[in-house]
Amino acid sequence: MTTLSIRNLSIDYIGPRSDFHAVKDVSFDVGRGEFFGLAGESGCGKSTIAFAISRLHRPPALIRKGSQILIEGRDVMALDDRALRDFRWREVAMVFQSAMNSLNPVLTIVDQFYDVLKTHAGMSRDQARARAAELLALVDIPAHRLDAYPHQCSGGMRQRIVIAICLSLNPKLLIMDEPTTALDVVVQHEILQRINKLRKDLGFSVLFITHDLGLMVQVSDRIGIMLEGELVEVGEAQSIYRNPQHDYTKRLWAAMPRLHGARLQEAGR
């Protein structure tokens, strides 16, 4: 079963004089429970794709006719406003770039969970508190943090809280758009290992967007490489790492800090 299926996705930014083709005829699938990494240099169209999948794209972004985005067979583009409200938490949840700063500074952690759980699952305060404690435990955060404010938590902890909030309604697809770039390498790695275990336990799929190739190859089952709006290579992470086909991928690997084969396997995906 395919969680996400993208076919011939083209997205333009409509300008007063000319249009900019940010995403050009991109097709790929993310299977159920799969960890898919999408990489490419800054400006190649990764976030544009992530926003389109979440139906969060806004003008001047325009998805071209003929593009198709399916989540478990459902046409994302056909959803009306009402369907979208549920879709955003139950089907797809997105952790944005620098998400650790996206928590509301004047609300305690439990209240940030309550916002989502009340609106989208009709939970009472007590129910939301119990569910929030459960979700925090998934990302290794003790329940006493429920009453803390964001500024009382470290960057890595805030990041894990955002991820836990995203998992509130058991989404089928978790999109993470450069979620850990502001964190140090060790913390980044720990968070991704944690996500990797969770998606195996809970069964959701991950679309992980990054420009950190080493990290991507270590944690992903399959990867896609983008160049100037096009998906130039897609397949098993290990096979693309060992045997890149496209010139651009070869150049990317050559420019990447050394990674040893043994270590990649040790990473224990």
List residues near Mg ion by CB under 5 A: 47
Which three-class secondary structure state does DSSP give residue 157? helix
Residue closer to ligand ADP, measured from CB, 32 or 211: 211
- Binding-site partner at residue 18 among Mg ion, ligand ADP, none, CB < 5 to 8 Å by type: none
167 contacts 91 by C-beta, under 8 angstroms: no
Does residue 265 touch ligand ADP according to CB under 6 A?
no
Shortest Å, Cβ 172 to ligand ADP: 23
Residue closer to ligand ADP, measured from CB, 19 or 140: 19
What is the distance, to the nearest Å, from the Cα of residue 39 to the centroid of all Cα atoms in its chain?
12
Shortest Å, Cβ 97 to Mg ion: 6
Shortest Å, Cβ 56 to ligand ADP: 12
- Binding-site partner at residue 20 among Mg ion, ligand ADP, none, CB < 5 to 8 Å by type: ligand ADP
Residues 14-43 that bind ligand ADP (CB under 6 A): 20, 22, 40, 42-43
Instruction: Return the structure tokens found at 174.
Output: 């978790």
Residues 50-109 that bind ligand ADP (CB under 6 A): 60
Residue closer to Mg ion, measured from CB, 3 or 47: 47
Cβ partners under 8 Å of residue 206, min gap 6: 30, 34, 35, 36, 173, 174, 175, 176, 195, 199
CA distance 96 to 101: 10
Residue closer to ligand ADP, measured from CB, 116 or 216: 216
- Binding-site partner at residue 66 among ligand ADP, Mg ion, none, CB < 5 to 8 Å by type: none
Shortest Å, Cβ 212 to ligand ADP: 13
Instruction: Return the structure tokens found at 186.
Output: 């060790």
Residue 54 φ/ψ region, left for φ over 0, alpha for ψ in the -120 to 50 degree band, beta for the rest: alpha
**In this structure, how many other beta carbons lie within 10 angstroms of the beta carbon of residue 9?**
23
Shortest Å, Cβ 226 to Mg ion: 11
Of the chain, the end-to-end C-alpha distance in Å amounts to 21
226 contacts 40 by C-beta, under 8 angstroms: yes
- Binding-site partner at residue 22 among ligand ADP, Mg ion, none, CB < 5 to 8 Å by type: ligand ADP
CA distance 37 to 234: 10
Residues of this chain that interact with ligand ADP (CB under 6 A) are 13, 20, 22, 40, 42-48, 60
